[in-house]
Amino acid sequence: MLIKLTGGTVYDPAHRVNGRVHNLYIQDGRIVDPPAGAHVDIEYDLHGMVVMAGAIDMHTHIGGGKVNIARTMLPEDHRADPVTHTEHLRSGCGHAAPSTLTTGYRYAEMGFTAAFEPAVLPVNARQAHMEMGDIPILDKGGYVMLGSDDFLLRMMHDGADQKAINDYVAWTLNASQCIGIKVVNPGGISAFKFNQRALDLDEEHTYYGVTPRQVLKVLATAVNELAVPHPLHVHGCNLGVPGNMETTLKTIGGIEGLPIHLTHIQFHSYGTEGDFKFSSGAAQIAEAINANRNVTVDVGQILFGQTVTASGDNMRQHANAGHAHPHKWVCMDIECDAGCGVVPFRYRDKNFVNALQWAIGLEIFLLVEDPWRVFLTTDHPNGAPFTSYPHLIRLLMDRSFRNEQLSRLHPEAQKMTTLASIEREYSLYEIAIMTRAAAAELVGLSDRGHLGAGAAADITVYVPDDDREKMFSRPRYVFKDGQLVVRDGQVVNVVWGTTHVVKPEYDPAIEKQLASYFDRYQTMKLDNFIIQADEISEDGRGSVTIHPCWGGRGV
């Protein structure tokens, strides 16, 4: 079947197309060159409409144990946002910790066609994939967490060479069916199990004697040498701690040019100036990002209201548990692998710290010059639920709206931010870069995030509106792999996406070492730990798509 999208105004940064009117053709789920004389089966008249590739959320907590703890903990939050069963759609709940089915519907209804879970514990990867397997429409994938697992820390303590660590990293990616490597509070989740309550970049783990800087170095090197496209995904030390911008700057400076992605950088950009000993480090952080082309970031913008924070960083979550709202929280130590912490939280615009966090995130968005290296996230649900993206896009694209919002915040916070003076407004082209072209490149998806011939036909069509929040809330059409799934902001057809993975090669000798470690210290056999592809595909809906390790931004 041949589908023609006629006359839309196309924003396709991967091909430097910035608002040019041209037609697109879809055949068998792919974008194709204009076929000479072929019969068009369905034509959509898109004159006056904006056409982009489907959006990609490169960091969103949508599946896995901590997300399900958050769901189970928050019946009162779900009750305010029930989702009704229809002919096409399953019932569920929305807001801070939405059900999997609702997650897929609501992302699609905003024009998103892929989302990546950034904190997959190797031992919990099976659950993460099962949950993501129940997220309709979207493609998905995961970044698997290393850095507080005892196997790696033992290797480092014993002076294992980089090649052996590379083998372990590659094996982990294969065994967990993931597409990238994440490190959370490097070594710190393990240190917390030994009753350490903080671990700065150059502080030694009390048992292993290893520092976070060393963990970052070996993992970033491994990812680079394995030519995994997605750079090491770093949730740094000292999340949320006033003054942590110094740690973040040292992290950038200390990585020696290796590619790294610093996630939810907003939470790591705090100074200690002012009466409240809490200030914005956004200018210095943005300057460092601008100066270091090996670094990408996503922001982790906070927006006001109730949400829940769910993180692998149980050291920091435990430290912040007193702020839980409502007052309940969970911390777990997990399988000599990692941990998790779930703390519900309400961001308030009249609270000085929260108001300044809001401003810091926006400052970073606006001060980082290259939209190919800064990504639109709220670290869902940690900064805000993903459903607030259209609002966030409006804040970036509309200075008067932004300043009007700023004027409502805690007055002391307004004094501590330069936001009001920043004139920049994001263009549609820049939004298309950060949410499409650059996101696909960052994750390592060559056939997504763009509209060239051969790309998957994941396409979103918007009706332009000066109110960008309205425009991005309700696409006219969304196509997933060439199938119309959303019309006028409503899901009309449910399809199932694929799971994107990489499979870097490794020396199988590492499995011998792992097998004896598993037999001695773990609670399952190595072969039962490994996730087979058929576990993802056997329900008849899921599939695994393997991407080549071509090196990405590697040096």
Partner 1 sequence: MANMNEQGVWEHVPSPFCGIGSDDLKIRVSGSRVEVLEHGDAVTKAAFEHPLGETQPLVDGKPASLEQAVARAAGIVAEAELPLLAGLATDVAGMRAALSLADHIGAVVDNMNSTAAMRNILVLQDSGWMTTTLAEVKNRADLFVAVGVDVEALFPRFFERHIWVDGMFVEAADRRIVYIGKGPSGYAAVSPDGRKPRVLLCEEEDLPAVVSMLRLLVNDRPVGVDSVGGIPITELKSLAKQLKGANYGVVAWAAGAMDWNHAELTVQSICEMVKDLNHTTRCSGLPLGGREGDQTANQVCGWQTGYPVRTRFSRGIPEYDPYLNASERLLGSREVDALLWLSAYNCANTPPDTDLPTVVLGRSGMTFDQTPQVYIPVGVPGIDHAGHTYRLDNVVAVRLFKLRDSGLPSSAQVLQLIEQSVRYG
Q: Which residues bind partner 1 (CB under 8 A)?
A: 63, 65, 67-69, 71-75, 78, 82-85, 90-93, 97-101, 121, 123-124, 126-127, 130-131, 134, 150, 154, 192-195, 207, 318, 324, 327-337, 342, 521-525, 527-528, 530-532, 535, 538-539
- Nearer to partner 1 among residue 162 and residue 206 (C-beta): 206
Which residues, in sequence order, are bridge partners of residue 262?
A: 234, 297
- Nearer to partner 1 among residue 202 and residue 519 (C-beta): 519
- Nearer to partner 1 among residue 127 and residue 513 (C-beta): 127
Q: Are β-strands 374-375 and 490-491 bridged in parallel, bridged antiparallel, or unpaired?
A: unpaired
Greatest alpha-carbon span in the chain? 71
- Nearer to partner 1 among residue 53 and residue 121 (C-beta): 121
- Nearer to partner 1 among residue 346 and residue 399 (C-beta): 346
> Whole-angstrom Cα distance, residue 442 to residue 544?
19
CB of 336 to partner 1, least distance (A): 5
105 CA to centre of own chain: 18
Q: Are 312 and 184 in contact (CB under 8 A)?
A: yes
CB of 531 to partner 1, least distance (A): 8
> Whole-angstrom Cα distance, residue 422 to residue 522?
53
Residues in CB range of 340: below 8 A, 6 or more apart: 65, 66, 69, 119, 121, 310, 311, 312, 314, 317, 330, 331, 332, 334
CB of 240 to partner 1, least distance (A): 19
Backbone phi and psi for residue 404, each to the nearest 5 degrees, phi listed first: -65, -40
> Whole-angstrom Cα distance, residue 197 to residue 218?
23
CB of 381 to partner 1, least distance (A): 12
> Whole-angstrom Cα distance, residue 462 to residue 476?
5
- Nearer to partner 1 among residue 401 and residue 517 (C-beta): 517
> What's the Cα-to-Cα distance from 182 to each of 120, 136, 223, 233, rounded to whole Å?
8, 24, 10, 4
- Nearer to partner 1 among residue 134 and residue 447 (C-beta): 134
- Nearer to partner 1 among residue 57 and residue 131 (C-beta): 131
SS3 71: helix
- Nearer to partner 1 among residue 250 and residue 318 (C-beta): 318
- Nearer to partner 1 among residue 46 and residue 137 (C-beta): 137
| Cis omega (within 30 of 0) for bond into 326 | yes
Residue 22 is encoded by which pair of tokens?
């041209």
- Nearer to partner 1 among residue 68 and residue 498 (C-beta): 68
Amino acid present at 244: N
Label each residue of 167-178 as H, E or C: HHHHHHHHHHCC
Amino acid present at 251: T
CB of 67 to partner 1, least distance (A): 8
Q: Are 424 and 402 in contact (CB under 8 A)?
A: no
CB of 97 to partner 1, least distance (A): 7
Residue count of the chain, please give it: 555
SS3 183: strand
* Residue with the two structure tokens 């993975």: 501
- Nearer to partner 1 among residue 330 and residue 396 (C-beta): 330
Of residues 192, 191, 170, 190, the one with CA closest to residue 181: 170
* Residue with the two structure tokens 């979103």: 460
CB of 90 to partner 1, least distance (A): 5
CB of 77 to partner 1, least distance (A): 8
Distance, first Cα to last Cα, the chain: 43
Residues in CB range of 289: below 8 A, 6 or more apart: 252, 265, 295, 297, 368, 373, 374
Of residues 322, 136, 310, the one with CA closest to residue 235: 310
- Nearer to partner 1 among residue 154 and residue 399 (C-beta): 154
CB of 443 to partner 1, least distance (A): 23
21 CA to centre of own chain: 31
CB of 439 to partner 1, least distance (A): 25
CB of 85 to partner 1, least distance (A): 5
- Nearer to partner 1 among residue 155 and residue 433 (C-beta): 155
CB of 186 to partner 1, least distance (A): 19
Backbone phi and psi for residue 12, each to the nearest 5 degrees, phi listed first: -135, 80
Look at the alpha carbons of 507, 513, 519, 523 in this order and tell me if their dihedral is positive or negative: negative
CB of 342 to partner 1, least distance (A): 8
CB of 335 to partner 1, least distance (A): 4
> Whole-angstrom Cα distance, residue 11 to residue 126?
37
